[in-house]
Amino acid sequence: MLSFIARRIAAGAVLLFVISFLSHLLLSVPDLDVGRQLLGSGATQDLVDAKNAELGLDRSVLVQYLDWVAHAVRGDFGTSWFTGENVVQAIGTRLPVTISLLVGVTLVTAVLSLLLGVWAGVRRGGPVDRLVQVLAVAGYALPGFLVTLIIVVVFAVRLGWFPAIGYTGFTESPSGWLSTVTLPILSLSVGSVAGLTQQVRAAVIDVLRQDYVRTLRARGLPPSRIVFRHVVRNAAAPALTVLGVQFVGLLGGAVLVEQIFGLPGLGGMTVAYTTRGDIPVIMALVMVTVLVVVTINLVVDVLIGWLNPKARVA
Amino acid sequence: MKKTARAAATVAACVTAATVLAGCSGSGSAGSGSTTLSIATLTLPQSLDPADANGSALPFFQAVYDTLLKREPDGTYAPMLATAWKYNDDRTELALTLRGDVKFDDGTPFDAAAVKANMERFVKKTGAQAKTLKDVESIEVVDAAHVTLKLGRPNPAMLFYLSDAAGLMANPAAFAKSGDPLKTRPDGTGPYELDTGKTAIGTRWAFRRATSYWGRGLPYENVTINYFDNETALVNGIKTGQVNAAVLQDADQQAGVENAPKVTTVKQEFDFQGLLLFDRGGVVTPALRDTRVRQAINHAIDRRTMLDKLRQGRGQITNQIFGTDTAAYKKELDAYYAHDPAKARELLKQAGFGGGFTLRLPRITAIVPDALASSLQTDLGKVGIKVTWQTIDPGSIRQVFGQRAYSAMVMNLGQSATDWVTVGDYVTPGVFNMFGYSDATVKELLPKIQRAPVEEAGPHLQALNEHLVKDAWFVPFYRMTYLHVSDGSVKITPQSGMAVPSLYNYAPAK
């Protein structure tokens, strides 16, 4: 298991390098005259050239990249060209917001989908199963932004139970943090709960049909024990895979939710800084995203391996 | 393995309970009452260095910096860091008298040398506003309290600029430091200081009352300015009281907030939307060289329908670029060009373009949504002008202004209350006149306007405005009504010639 993790980490590191180089190449298009953008159209060409030289943009792309790597491995991602912020600090203040959302949604999705999916699968055709079917279709069919807007209007504007916008840091006030992330998490969870519940339900039904379950029943094991000890364990692996894929997909959904709730997360930052071509910030954001995706995939694989020894490919 | 099930159930219960608890204690983080003013904006300042300042981001800067002159809500000037100002007879020297009791936080005195250092740096840093001081040839320090600006030629907008970005005064001690500290740690003499602990640059700027302010402070202990990239979040913030004040540009959003309980609104017309014809010399699109072609475009467009359909009628049709607060403004010019496709076709025929021509236009989707794009394409298509839209992202706007790749562009532009600001922005060669086009009438009128005292320039300005309209330099559509909205706790006074109110224009509602 440990060697498996070590190999995956090594592969992740290689991936970081490859993606950082490709991103750098893509961002180094000659048309992106950063100096001109920074100084405005009123500046003379001499000033623009001097600015580009100051930023080191007059060097070859490879030299620029190696310079970036040399600093990045020491944790120095430079400063934003446009706002003068330290990139690490800027991302540091926004990362907790997005991570709060992603982790929150993943937990809520995992717990709710497991409970609902198992219940629906075990009691097929019962009232809970029917309800789950209806909700799943609704959760799938409704576009994310519509769900989010409805949630804001109902729970924040009309009922006033939660704030409509903004974010409070966990360290600042845990209860404030919870009240500001609840609605965004709820908004993002609707779609993923709908998807995963169906997945769990199908897996449970599939496992219940297996011969060994019939054998266990014949031996007189109590149904609850069969379900939680055997069925859930075998149904969990495909569900975890879906959850991992969903988590990565959430990065896109988070952009929208952060905009509607006015949350100072990475989503809005990515949009704002990318359109301006702020390369130090974009590079760091790409690295953070790759790191998150690699980590999630690793965690999912380890969990699946732990649940199901057969999946541990040596 | 029962443990797993129990654990799962416990987690589920905790999540649910926590949600309910949070719901019970759900109070926003934004302040209410009169200790904190929470403003929302769609404008992102590049940084808090005055060299990067511009009009719509001015409130950010007004919190931490003072300007030489203060601009009152009606557009008149009042003393601020400068207590008096006087022109010489030919309006080429502007003498300023400065306050003597103002210091920066580190003890550096604010004096004539500081003014000189700030203005010279402002030009050298070539920010977007650097051009506003292009007529200043030199700055002479007379003594600590007196400074004289020597102008290469008279500039009727100079006082306006000194009450705007070019008049923001930062601590000269910060200029020499490496790494542009002013960008993230502003250092001025203003009524507030940036609370870096509560600030997340790019989303929320928190300001707390400065410990020692030379002037009369503003009525709020704290001010936060929150950036949003969409008006939906902003409207929700207003409705829940998490945001106290904002400006709404979008007609649908305005309609959605007007009847909300407690919300108070004030209307203001500031920006106009229109097609700016840069290429009146016909460099890229030869047809535009003929005045009749430009007039035909003006006649082809159905402004009334556009205003009703695209902005729910929230605005006023106009054919002139000068705003209602200027001396150049003539009400009758608002409707100079009637919607008349037959006349447009006739004019095109006279100009030798009866067979029509193609007009390539850049399009930034945030400014030109689908409805507007197809409306213009249809109206102009009916008279034989084929519009082809080319979508560009805001980052490549350089192609328009730097490379002069396009003949015209649809834009939303402010209408200053100061005539010469409008002239400088749109008529003289520069950013919005990048082809440098001019004509005999304009060349004759501009020096007259420049040399006349502001109060006597009216007739020349009206003549200029009339010429620009009749010669079809531009194709303005309408002035757009913007809505200042408050959650009911703030009284907002709009600022003449500015889309957003000055920071000084907010007060607790009685």
pLDDT in tens, B288-311: 999 999 999 999 999 999 999 999
Q: Does one domain contain both B499 and B471? A: no
Long-range contacts of B70-73 (CB under 8 A, 24+ apart): B70/B163, B70/B504, B71/B160, B71/B163, B71/B164, B71/B495, B71/B502, B73/B493, B73/B494, B73/B495, B73/B496, B73/B501, B73/B502, B73/B505
Closest CA to B482 of B492, B472, B468: B492
The verdict on residue B134 lying in a domain is yes
Contact check, Cβ <8 Å, A31/B229: no
Q: Does one domain contain both B152 and B293? A: no
From B18, B47, B239, residue closest to A157, measured CB to CB: B239
Q: Does one domain contain both A167 and A279? A: yes
From A40, A84, A94, residue closest to B180, measured CB to CB: A84
User: pLDDT at position B12, please?
Assistant: 37
Q: Does one domain contain both A150 and A279? A: yes
Residue B3, token pair as written in the block: 């443990």
User: pLDDT at position B77, please?
Assistant: 94
A306 reaches B (C-beta below 8 A): no
The verdict on residue B376 lying in a domain is yes
The verdict on residue A151 lying in a domain is yes
Q: Does one domain contain both B502 and B469? A: no
CA distance B498 to B501: 7
Lowest-confidence region among A270-274, B345-349, B354-358, B411-415: A270-274
Indicate the residue type of B431: V
B107: left (phi over 0), alpha (psi -120 to 50) or beta: left
What is the length of chain A? 314
The verdict on residue A79 lying in a domain is no
If one compares A288 and A85, the residue with the highest pLDDT of the two is: A288
Q: Which residue on chain B is closest to A82 by alpha carbon?
A: B46
pLDDT digits (tens, 9 = 90+) for B443-486: 999 999 998 888 889 999 999 999 999 999 999 999 999 999 99
The verdict on residue A158 lying in a domain is yes
Give chain B positions within 8 Å (CB) of A152: 236
Domain end call among A74, A107, A129: A74
User: pLDDT at position B493, please?
Assistant: 94
Distance of CA A223 to the CA centre of its chain: 36
* A236 min Cα distance to partner chain B (Å): 13
Q: Does one domain contain both B66 and B177? A: yes
Question: Where residue A41 falls among pLDDT bands split at 50, 70, 90?
Answer: low
Q: Does one domain contain both B296 and B218? A: no
Contact check, Cβ <8 Å, A163/B12: no
Q: Does one domain contain both A42 and A135? A: no
The verdict on residue A85 lying in a domain is no
Going by C-beta distance under 8 Å and a sequence separation of 6 or more, which residues neighbour residue B409?
B275, B276, B278, B361, B362, B400
CA distance A297 to A308: 16
**Per-residue pLDDT at B140 exceeds 50:** yes
Q: Does one domain contain both B225 and B317? A: no
**A81 neighbors A278 (Cβ within 8 angstroms):** yes
User: pLDDT at position B157, please?
Assistant: 92
User: How many domains would you assign to chain B?
Assistant: 2
For residues B158-185, average pLDDT? 90
Q: Does one domain contain both B431 and B499? A: no
CA distance to A152, A189, A224, A240, B15, per residue, from A114 (Å): 26, 14, 14, 10, 14
CA distance A245 to A304: 14
**Per-residue pLDDT at B14 exceeds 50:** no
**Per-residue pLDDT at A81 exceeds 60:** yes
The verdict on residue B248 lying in a domain is no
The verdict on residue A304 lying in a domain is yes
Closest CA to A123 of A215, A217, A227: A227
The verdict on residue A92 lying in a domain is no
CA distance B301 to B290: 18
Domain hosting A23: range is 1-74
Domain end call among A74, A109, A137: A74
Contact check, Cβ <8 Å, A163/B23: no
Give chain B positions within 8 Å (CB) of A179: 22-23, 25-27
CA distance B335 to B364: 27
Per-residue 3-state assignment (H helix, E strand, C coil) for B53-103: CCHHHHHHHHHHCCECEEECCCCCEEECCEEEEEECCCCCEEEEEECCCCE
User: pLDDT at position A168, please?
Assistant: 78
If one compares A257 and A222, the residue with the highest pLDDT of the two is: A257
From A90, A94, A178, residue closest to B22, measured CB to CB: A178
For testing contact with chain B, the best of A165, A230, A266 (most B CBs within 10 A): A165
Single pTM value for the model: 0.81
Could you tell me the CATH number of the domain that includes residue B431?
Answer: 3.10.105.10
The H-assigned helical ranges of B218-319 are 231-240, 251-258, 291-300, 303-311
CA distance B461 to B320: 12
For residues A264-276, average pLDDT? 79
What average pLDDT does chain B have?
87
The verdict on residue B461 lying in a domain is yes
User: pLDDT at position A102, please?
Assistant: 87
Contact check, Cβ <8 Å, B15/A108: yes
The verdict on residue B293 lying in a domain is yes
**Per-residue pLDDT at A4 exceeds 60:** yes
User: pLDDT at position A309, please?
Assistant: 65
**Per-residue pLDDT at A59 exceeds 70:** yes
User: pLDDT at position B9, please?
Assistant: 38
B392: left (phi over 0), alpha (psi -120 to 50) or beta: beta
A271 reaches B (C-beta below 8 A): yes
Q: Does one domain contain both B175 and B306? A: no
If one compares B221 and A115, the residue with the highest pLDDT of the two is: B221
Domain hosting B213: range is 7-229+487-508
For residues B6-25, average pLDDT? 36
Going by C-beta distance under 8 Å and a sequence separation of 6 or more, which residues neighbour residue B243?
A165, B30, B38, B39, B40, B226, B234, B237, B487
For testing contact with chain B, the best of A49, A51, A83 (most B CBs within 10 A): A83
User: pLDDT at position A312, please?
Assistant: 57
Q: Does one domain contain both A30 and A151? A: no
Contact check, Cβ <8 Å, A41/B402: yes
User: pLDDT at position B395, please?
Assistant: 61
Q: Does one domain contain both B452 and B357? A: yes
Question: Where residue B160 falls among pLDDT bands split at 50, 70, 90?
Answer: very high
Q: What is the sign of the dihedral through the CA atoms of B170, B174, B179 and B184? A: negative
Q: Does one domain contain both A243 and A193? A: yes
The verdict on residue A88 lying in a domain is no
Could you give phi then psi for residue A128, rounded to 5 degrees?
-65, -40
Q: Which residue on chain B is closest to A93 by alpha carbon?
A: B200
* B408 min Cα distance to partner chain A (Å): 17
CA distance B212 to B261: 39
A206 reaches B (C-beta below 8 A): no
| A residues 55..94 contacting B (CB < 8 A) | 79, 82-85, 90, 93-94
A84: left (phi over 0), alpha (psi -120 to 50) or beta: left
Could you tell me the CATH number of the domain that includes residue B95?
Answer: 3.40.190.10
Q: Does one domain contain both A51 and A110? A: no
Contact check, Cβ <8 Å, B8/A115: yes
Q: Does one domain contain both A167 and A37? A: no
Q: Does one domain contain both A163 and A211? A: yes
Q: Does one domain contain both B451 and B501? A: no
User: pLDDT at position B83, please?
Assistant: 95
User: pLDDT at position A9, please?
Assistant: 85
DSSP 8-class letter at B224: E
User: How many domains would you assign to chain A?
Assistant: 2
DSSP H/E element including B357: strand B357-363
The verdict on residue B236 lying in a domain is no
Contact check, Cβ <8 Å, B47/A84: yes
What is the length of chain B? 510
Question: Where residue B209 falls among pLDDT bands split at 50, 70, 90?
Answer: very high
Q: Which residue on chain B is closest to A261 by alpha carbon?
A: B233
For residues A164-184, average pLDDT? 83
**B216 neighbors B94 (Cβ within 8 angstroms):** no
How far the first Cα of chain B sits from its last, in Å, is 65
Contact check, Cβ <8 Å, B8/A229: no
From B127, B236, B401, residue closest to A156, measured CB to CB: B236
CA distance B450 to B457: 8
User: pLDDT at position A43, please?
Assistant: 60
The H-assigned helical ranges of chain A are 2-27, 34-39, 45-54, 61-72, 87-122, 127-141, 144-151, 174-208, 211-218, 223-225, 232-260, 266-276, 279-307
User: pLDDT at position A71, please?
Assistant: 87
If one compares A238 and B224, the residue with the highest pLDDT of the two is: B224
Q: Does one domain contain both A145 and A253? A: yes
* B285 min Cα distance to partner chain A (Å): 22
User: pLDDT at position A158, please?
Assistant: 83
Q: Does one domain contain both A134 and A278? A: yes
Beta strands in B364-508 (DSSP E): 385-391, 408-414, 474-486, 490-492, 506-508
Could you tell me the CATH number of the domain that includes residue A159?
Answer: 1.10.3720.10
The verdict on residue A91 lying in a domain is no
**B303 neighbors B317 (Cβ within 8 angstroms):** yes
User: pLDDT at position B15, please?
Assistant: 37
| A residues 144..163 contacting B (CB < 8 A) | 149, 152-153, 156-157, 160-163
Give chain A positions within 8 Å (CB) of B243: 165
Q: Does one domain contain both A45 and A184? A: no
For testing contact with chain A, the best of B41, B49, B126 (most A CBs within 10 A): B126
pLDDT digits (tens, 9 = 90+) for B237-272: 998 888 999 999 989 899 989 888 889 999 998 899
B22: helix, strand or coil: helix
How many CB pairs lie under 8 A apart between chains A and B?
A: 172
Residue B127, token pair as written in the block: 């920010």
Contact check, Cβ <8 Å, B26/A111: no
Lowest-confidence region among A42-46, A111-115, A209-213, B372-376: A42-46
* A53 min Cα distance to partner chain B (Å): 15
Give chain A positions within 8 Å (CB) of B2: 225, 228
User: pLDDT at position A226, please?
Assistant: 77
**Per-residue pLDDT at B127 exceeds 70:** no
Q: Look-up: residue for tokens 């001109």? A: A36
Give chain B positions within 8 Å (CB) of A183: none
Closest CA to B32 of B491, B503, B487, B499: B487
Q: Does one domain contain both B502 and B458? A: no
Q: Does one domain contain both B471 and B504? A: no
Q: Does one domain contain both A69 and A122? A: no
Beta pairing, strands B222-227 & B36-41: parallel
